[in-house]
Structure 1
Amino acid sequence: MSGMLDGLKAQSAGVQAGRRRLVGGLGLAAAAWMLASPAWAGSYEDFFKAVERDDGRSVLSLLQRGFDPNARDERGQPALTRAFKEDALKAAEALWTHPQLDLEAVNAANETPLMMAALRGHVVWMQRLIERGARVHREGWAPVHYAASSAELEPMELMLRAGAPVDAVSPNGSTPLMMAAGYGAIDGARLLLRRGADATLRNQRGMTAADFARSMGRDGLAAEIEAAAARRRTAVAPAQ
């Protein structure tokens, strides 16, 4: 992608062909603006550099000049998701002012801005996204999995308050409890257990949440999860 952008800067017969190759992946609104502006390539680079360095003023200026708030960087990352990933909250604030901002725009990994905000622990932004209409749950990898993977407890608390399913299942069978047990806050795993998360579930590799915890050296948490699994099995066992 960067090679294409370099070629687009050249004043040659290849400019129009380069534009056509690139435009397809950036959305119709971005494409229309790009083709109308002879300086669009430079603005594109300036825009994502401004996002990366959290220069909200420059982001806002480019938006006011017509830049698409839903443009994707060279790796297919929408601007808002990129801002959350980089902890560039001033840039996010500038993007937030645009009425055409797409809250469900996904990157190459099918991640939404809410998912990235949850992973990075931006709880205030999670709340704002939800209040503005971002989907709390989606099939496959869901925001609650990302909240469970955060090092902080608050994202998990917020997603559960918003109605996220406690046992959401990812494409490989992983649950929020598994993600919290292996990668997230230990208190997040305990919160999920208190909310009734099923500790007996296994993913496609046959791993339980206790296995996730033990693989990361969290033996005490693994024991708590196994105890919860034993209680659940006892509760659902048929009477003799």
Structure 2
Amino acid sequence: MLNLFDRMNGHSRFSAFLLLLALACLPSMSHASNADDMAKAAQLDDERRMKALLAAGVDPNLVAQKQRGETALMMALREDSKKVFNLLLNARGIDLNLRARNGDTALMIASYKGNVAAVKALLDKEAEPNNTGWTALHYAAAIGNDEIVQMLLDASAYIDAGSPNQTTPIMMAARAGKIYTVKLLLDSGADVTLKNDAGMTAIDLAKKFDHDDIAEGLTHRLKQAGKL
């Protein structure tokens, strides 16, 4: 005996095929819709919408911003959406150490933005300060936020972390002319003699970008230590 599908004529079979194809696409369409909704909630700091999405079972780690590969938590930090950030920070199953397409983590974005409260909250939740490539300490040093630098050091951030081109946090601070950050890192044990892939030290970078006071101070400290 022929089953129902076998008894269908050609047109009916083609229509059934299209229906099955459409049904197969529903999960991906739903996934895209959830991502768009999470992105909007993060951008607008819409706590109510984000709560509804999470209550409906949407993954808090879903990539909400495709171009940058960022989660809603990362977007909330970038947009300074405090209510959504706090909600996601405490969401069941949240992964604080996911990386965006460029390698940034939530902690790195918070550090780059100079968001002291968010950095503290992430570290209290045991977000990892160390990873390969650029780190939160690089970013905090580059903007000269000494409070965040100290918080990261207290959380065991590697002080001489090397970026992909072996730039260290103290090099970033010296390049940007952040003299107090340079001193903080130096006093905390940063190695000023390290060189990046271009063969430049923190002193070289300070000189290149006309931060002579930093170059002179670092040179003096190296001479005192008998390293020059």
The answer for the alignment partner of 1:41 in structure 2 is: 32
Give a deviation string over 1:143-180, Cα, whole Å, max 9, x none: 22222123422110111112222222222111110011
RMSD after superposition: 2.6
Is 2:177–2:206's contact at 8 Å kept on the other side of the alignment? no
The answer for the alignment partner of 1:92 in structure 2 is: 85
The answer for the alignment partner of 1:173 in structure 2 is: 166
One-letter code of the match for 1:158? M
Supply the distance in 2 between the matched residues of 1:105 and 1:228 (Cα, whole angstroms): 39
Supply the distance in 2 between the matched residues of 1:106 and 1:63 (Cα, whole angstroms): 21
Q: 1:133 aligns with which of 113, 116, 126?
A: 126
One-letter code of the match for 1:214? K
Structure 1 207/51 Cα, relative in aligned 2: closer, same or farther at 3 Å? Answer: same
One-letter code of the match for 2:94? L
Tell me whether 1:190 sits opposite 2:194 in the alignment: no
- What is the TM-score with the length of structure 1 in the denominator? 0.76
One-letter code of the match for 1:150? I
The answer for the alignment partner of 1:28 in structure 2 is: none
Supply the distance in 2 between the matched residues of 1:132 and 1:96 (Cα, whole angstroms): 8
Q: 2:102 aligns with which of 90, 109, 122?
A: 109
Name the stretch that deviates more: 133-142 or 185-194: 133-142
Structure 2 gap ranges (5+): 1-17
- What is the TM-score with the length of structure 2 in the denominator? 0.80
The answer for the alignment partner of 2:9 in structure 1 is: none
Instruction: Give how far 1:12 is off.
Output: 8.3
Q: 1:147 aligns with which of 137, 140, 156?
A: 140
Is 1:199–1:226's contact at 8 Å kept on the other side of the alignment? no
Structure 1 193/154 Cα, relative in aligned 2: closer, same or farther at 3 Å? Answer: same
- Segments of 4+ moved more than 4 angstroms: 11-17
Is the radius of gyration larger for structure 1 or structure 2? 2
Is 2:114–2:148's contact at 8 Å kept on the other side of the alignment? yes
Task: Tell me how many residue pairs correspond in the alignment.
Answer: 209
Structure 1 gap ranges (5+): 1-10, 20-33
Instruction: Give how far 1:14 is off.
Output: 7.1
